[in-house]
Amino acid sequence: MKRRDFIKISGAATIAAACAPKKTQSSAPAEGPEQMLVRENPRNGDKVAMLGFGCMRWPMIKDAEGKDVIDQEAVNEMVDYALAHGVNYFDTSPAYLQGQSEKAAGEALSRHPRDSYFIATKLSNFWDRSTEGSLKMYHESFKQLKTDYFDYYLLHSIGRGGKEAFNKRYVENGMIDFLLKEKEAGRIRNLGFSFHGAKHEFDSFMEMYDSGEMHWDFCQIEMNYVDWTHADGVRNVNADYLYAELDKREIPIVIMEPLLGGRLANVPEGIARQMKQREPDLSIASWAFRFCGTYPRVLCTLSGMTSMDPLKDNIKTFGHFKPLTEEELDFLEQMAVQMKEYPLVNCTDCKYCMPCPWGIDIPGTFQHYNKAITEGTYAQSREQKDYAKLKKAYLVSYDRAVATVRQADHCISCGDCLPRCPQSIAIPKQLRRIAEYVEGLKQDTL
Amino acid sequence: MLKKIRVALAWIFWMGITLLFLDFTGALHGYLGWMAKIQFLPAVLALNVGVIVALVLLTLVFGRVYCSVICPLGVFQDGISWLGTHKKKAPYSYKKENKWLRYGVWALFVVALVAGVQAAVALLAPYSAYGRMVQNLLQPIYLWGNNLLAGLAERAGSYTFYEKDVWMRSVPTFVVALVTLAVIVALSFKGGRTYCNSICPVGTTLSFFSRFAMFRPMIDTGKCKHCKACELHCKARCIEITKDSARIDHSRCVDCFNCIDECKFGALQYRFAWGKDSSPSAQNDKGQAQNDKGRRAMMAGTVAVAGAAALKGVEARAQEAAKKVDGGFADVLPKQAPVRETPVTPPGSKSVKDFYRRCTACQLCVAECPNNVLRPSGSLEHLMQPEMSFEKGWCRPECTRCSELCPAGAIGKIGREEKTQYRVGTSHVNLELCVSASGKALCGKCAQICPSGAIRMVENEETGLLFPVVAEEICTGCGACEHLCPVRPVSAITVNGRSQHV
């Protein structure tokens, strides 16, 4: 289905499109009381806030022994604020944040009535798919989250390896039968999956649905205005296809990576200028969230908010929600095309690749590189004005962001990380590209 | 007036040289590098005839102004003496020349220089002693200060200051530096220029010329009232005023001009005095050492120990690789230096032998090395003289800083192009440690990173595993492979020095 066709038949957006004849209108932030955009799950009547809290990027601090631990105080504050402003969907996993995310979520949420929020967690049995290991992980999640039922339970990141990999992780070990029984018993209210992979792999899961083999209650996909028609690499499928397939089957959609790990909150300067020109008072991130909210089959948009600032900004976006007009969607498509011109690494900082067995800080290196590209503070040529200044800025900030023994030049290209990257980034190749860029800076051969 | 000029010039030189040692950015050495190059002993070792002749002429014309102005250790002692004596009315008094000590040390020094016992030379030479103290004791404080500013700059989002690693390069050298400081402070706090006039071999050398200097402070016996004001303020303790005589030992006078300022009767004047005084002269003999003692091999059973430790590190990492959750870092063990049969000396040094014969161990290159490659040697033979090692970095192709700075000519000046051809060492692979050769992981880091393309991965026909092979005729010994080798604590590929570089 083409986007234009879809817009025509989607209620809310049609009205919005009809009401937006002007090409370059500047719409100031909506006035009036804040009203969180809520979508009703047509299958069970769950009233889910459009903004969901992703529990993968909470702030970490060092404990007394120097180990990374979640800053529980900050988490409690954010969770309280989120609940008070209508956010009610919390998405976690036993693997997130070095395995600490569920516990922190349980800690923060259990201070509130259980019926005031929905919990989503996952069977993240990537490294131990045995029945015992998987069952242990499942039961442990109840303890960590201090609950006796999950509202939404996901088969974590299926797709890569298609049906075969799915069978190994969930069928052969009997987990899928077990989970279906758990659903009957009411301990799982909705059973779905999160997807990263290619088109034919997605198709195989839809065929399972069509044949009645699996009744997916919902599906979590990566969707944003870049991935809509410009998903990176041959191994990932465009979101417009995923959306259309799910919409056709009326499967509720939960969106992950609406900001591509923050990259769409911090776009290259030239793109940011065009966005600000249109909406001076709205944040860059708001464009990405409005994009997701514009599509009616979307039940919830997850955002991994690390601090109060993005939380407040996102609540503002969905509290005074304005769907995008067709013209604005075209504008975002242009921005996505422009974004592809920049040599950014498609990393969302999800840290699935970590820890690298050789100690490389993979996401740290990519984030630092992307930041320099986005801010336009990367030296491209010796002839460039301010070359010396940009060179120093890059090298000094690199050493500050990433310990020297964890930098790209130490990567041995063993490829251990490759299967773990949901974005299919050729990590060793990209690290080498950055290492060569840094060498070029140091040797002045750019 | 003369004293004021002397003090002003001394400040300029002292600050300049101290800053040269402290500045790790390399921004100053273009402006201040010459101050190190006009130091006496480095000039002698560099066979820098121009500087030696100029300094001898300077001394023949004006006396030992070198000791009062150019020598950083001399000026440093003046500072210490000032602290110890400025509140006293009569801080000093005449002391007889300690000939045995003075000429004994000098003779020993010349013997050490000729025999190539550089540790003894470095221990006694004033510029080396000063450099050692600044690099070991003051630079860490300077760097910590810098790191404090870097922390603030980071918060402010500025790149003006950036953090530098502060680390102990060599314990023996650090201890020697501490002892040097203690001795210098103890001698100069109340004793003025005791070191300069009884120990310093450069001071003694210059004294052979200063006693004949064209211009000298002279006492007009007609005007002198024998009040001893000059003697009591002479920090060289070389003015002897008795009831019926007034005499200055010009071999020890460093031309500080304090006496001229103190004399209320105008009896002291700095004036033309050619041929007025005489004392036995000695020729300055600085024959170049030819017979360097053969290097003693330092290979030991430590290789086995280090190897075992390295294997352990790899195993630990393999275990960690079995991860359960996302995020976090695997530990990275610090690197350990391997045993090097031949030390690696910087590109620009002609040979290991030549480098260690010329080097005065002033630590200037150690203080300046931006890649943390140079550090003082801990071996008895080359104690305090620098050597290269690659635990914290490698000798990067774009950097020729030490070769631009070395005042003694131990590291000859080379350009970037020349450096790419300059072979100071050769890499060797330990196939037992190598993760690729042993099939522990896919690697090839050394082959990929080698700036000269000297390393290739070759297949073992039996196992099908790839292992690195070094083309020794191309390898420069830069240490990139050793530094970036994933095997820790001792790398699987290590650099051994070449004794002859050109």
Domains and CATH numbers, chain B: 1-319 (no CATH), 423-502 (3.30.70.20)
Q: How far is CA A67 from CA A253, B60, B329, in A?
A: 36, 67, 10
Instruction: State both tokens at A149.
Output: 């039922």
What is the torsion angle, in degrees rounded to the nearest 10, for the CA atoms of residue B122, residue B125, residue B126 and residue B131? -20
pLDDT for position B271? 87
Report how far residue B236's alpha carbon sits from residue B253's, in angstroms, rounded to the nearest whole number.
6
Residue B97 contacts residue B249 (beta carbons within 8 Å): yes
Instruction: Check CB contact of A444 with chain B, cutoff 8 Å.
Output: yes
Report how far residue B42's alpha carbon sits from residue B357's, in angstroms, rounded to the nearest whole number.
11
Instruction: Check CB contact of B322 with chain A, cutoff 8 Å.
Output: yes
Report how far residue A423's alpha carbon sits from residue A69's, in angstroms, rounded to the nearest whole number.
26
Instruction: Check CB contact of A438 with chain B, cutoff 8 Å.
Output: no
pLDDT tens sequence across A91-122: 999 999 989 999 999 999 999 999 999 999 99
Instruction: Check CB contact of B164 with chain A, cutoff 8 Å.
Output: no
* A29 Ramachandran zone, left/alpha/beta (phi>0; psi -120 to 50): beta
Q: What is the mean pLDDT of residues B473-493?
A: 94
Report how far residue A284's alpha carbon sits from residue A349's, in angstroms, rounded to the nearest whole number.
19
Q: Strands A51-54, A150-159: parallel, antiparallel or unpaired by DSSP?
A: unpaired
With contacts defined as CB-CB under 8 Å, which chain A residues touch B330?
Answer: 355-359
pLDDT for position A1? 47
pLDDT for position B309? 42
Instruction: Check CB contact of A378 with chain B, cutoff 8 Å.
Output: no
pLDDT tens sequence across B320-354: 444 567 788 888 999 999 999 999 999 999 999 99
pLDDT for position A65? 87
Q: Do B159 and A396 touch (CB under 8 A)?
A: yes
Report how far residue B309's alpha carbon sits from residue A410's, in angstroms, rounded to the nearest whole number.
20
pLDDT band at A18 (very low <50, low <70, confident <90, very high): very low
Nearest CB to A358 within list B163, B325, B330: B330
With contacts defined as CB-CB under 8 Å, which chain B residues touch A392?
Answer: 159
Residue of A412, A423, A431, A432 to mutate when probing chain B, most B C-beta within 10 A: A412
Which of A243-247, A402-406, B155-159 is least confident? Answer: B155-159
pLDDT for position B296? 30
Question: Can you say how many angstroms the Cα of residue B105 is from the centroid of all Cα atoms in its chain?
Answer: 21
Question: Around B36, how many Cα atoms within 13 Å sit in the side-chain half-sphere?
Answer: 29
Does B112 have pLDDT greater than 80? yes
pLDDT tens sequence across A55-105: 999 999 998 888 889 999 999 999 999 999 999 999 999 999 989 999 999
* A107 Ramachandran zone, left/alpha/beta (phi>0; psi -120 to 50): alpha
Of residues B435, B424, B433, the one with CA closest to residue B496: B424
CB B120: neighbour CB atoms within 10 A? 16
* Helix residue ranges, H only, B263-301: none
Q: What would the DSSP string read from start to end of A137-153?
A: HHHHHHHHHT-S-EEEE
pLDDT for position A234? 63
Q: Do B486 and A400 touch (CB under 8 A)?
A: no
A255 vs A160, more confident:
A255
The ipTM is: 0.77
Question: Can you say how many angstroms the Cα of residue B385 is from the centroid of all Cα atoms in its chain?
Answer: 7
Q: Strands A38-40, A47-49: parallel, antiparallel or unpaired by DSSP?
A: antiparallel
Sign (positive/negative) of CA torsion A434, A439, A442, A444?
Answer: negative
pLDDT band at B415 (very low <50, low <70, confident <90, very high): very high
Report how far residue A278's alpha carbon sits from residue A257's, in angstroms, rounded to the nearest whole number.
24
Of residues B464, B443, B446, the one with CA closest to residue B454: B446
Report how far residue B271's alpha carbon sits from residue A231's, in angstroms, rounded to the nearest whole number.
88
Instruction: Please tell me whether residue B462 adopts helix, strand or coil conformation.
Output: coil
Instruction: Check CB contact of A412 with chain B, cutoff 8 Å.
Output: yes
Q: How far is CA A28 from CA A24, A128, A283, A317, A320, in A?
A: 12, 51, 12, 12, 11
pLDDT for position B87? 86
DSSP character at residue A154 = E
Q: Do A99 and B324 touch (CB under 8 A)?
A: yes
Question: Can you say how many angstroms the Cα of residue B145 is from the centroid of all Cα atoms in its chain?
Answer: 22
Q: Do B324 and A442 touch (CB under 8 A)?
A: no
Question: Can you say how many angstroms the Cα of residue B2 is from the centroid of all Cα atoms in its chain?
Answer: 32
User: Percent of chain A scored above 70 by pLDDT?
Assistant: 92
pLDDT band at B286 (very low <50, low <70, confident <90, very high): very low
Q: What is the mean pLDDT of residues B477-492?
A: 95
Find, in chain B, the residue whose alpha carbon is nearest to that of A391.
Answer: B159
pTM of the model: 0.76
Q: Do A355 and B320 touch (CB under 8 A)?
A: yes
Q: How far apart are the first and last CA of chain A?
A: 45
pLDDT tens sequence across A20-37: 434 444 444 556 788 999
With contacts defined as CB-CB under 8 Å, which chain B residues touch A432?
Answer: 448
pLDDT for position A66? 84
Question: Around A300, how many Cα atoms within 13 Å sit in the side-chain half-sphere?
Answer: 28
pLDDT band at B277 (very low <50, low <70, confident <90, very high): low
Q: Do B330 and A400 touch (CB under 8 A)?
A: no
B158 vs B280, more confident:
B158
Q: Do B162 and A400 touch (CB under 8 A)?
A: yes
pLDDT tens sequence across B39-67: 999 898 888 899 999 999 999 999 999 99
Q: How far is CA B385 from CA A138, B106, B274, in A?
A: 63, 21, 42
Interacting residues of A391 by C-beta distance below 8 A, sequence separation 6+? A379, A441, A444
pLDDT band at A9 (very low <50, low <70, confident <90, very high): very low
With contacts defined as CB-CB under 8 Å, which chain A residues touch B435?
Answer: 412
Residue B459 contacts residue B487 (beta carbons within 8 Å): no
* A53 Ramachandran zone, left/alpha/beta (phi>0; psi -120 to 50): beta
Residue of A140, A396, A398 to mutate when probing chain B, most B C-beta within 10 A: A396
Q: What is the mean pLDDT of residues A296-307?
A: 95
Closest approach of A109 to chain B, Cα-based (Å) = 22
Does A264 have pLDDT greater than 70? yes
User: Percent of chain B scored above 70 by pLDDT?
Assistant: 90
Q: Do B444 and A412 touch (CB under 8 A)?
A: yes
Question: Around A190, how many Cα atoms within 13 Å sit in the side-chain half-sphere?
Answer: 25
Residue of A65, A122, A124, A414 to mutate when probing chain B, most B C-beta within 10 A: A414
pLDDT tens sequence across B186-240: 999 988 999 999 999 999 999 999 988 999 999 988 888 888 899 999 999 999 9
pLDDT for position A31? 61
With contacts defined as CB-CB under 8 Å, which chain A residues touch B396?
Answer: 442-443
Cβ pairs A/B, distance under 8 A: 97
Of residues B366, B356, B358, the one with CA closest to residue B20: B366
Instruction: Check CB contact of B325 with chain A, cutoff 8 Å.
Output: yes
Which of B19-23, B77-81, B281-285 is least confident? Answer: B281-285
pLDDT for position A390? 92
A268 preceded by a cis bond (ω within 30 of 0): no
Work out the mean pLDDT of chain B and round it to a whole number.
86
Instruction: Check CB contact of A350 with chain B, cutoff 8 Å.
Output: yes
Does A393 have pLDDT greater than 80? yes
pLDDT for position A269? 87
Report how far residue B477's alpha carbon sits from residue B345's, in angstroms, rounded to the nearest whole number.
10
pLDDT for position B118? 85
Of residues B298, B312, B357, the one with CA closest to residue B41: B357
Instruction: State both tokens at B224.
Output: 């002198």
* Helix residue ranges, H only, B217-351: 229-232, 258-262, 302-320
pLDDT for position A265? 92
Closest approach of B455 to chain A, Cα-based (Å) = 15
pLDDT for position B54? 94
Q: Do B328 and A355 touch (CB under 8 A)?
A: yes
With contacts defined as CB-CB under 8 Å, which chain A residues touch B323?
Answer: 127, 355
Instruction: Check CB contact of A116 with chain B, cutoff 8 Å.
Output: no
pLDDT for position B324? 63
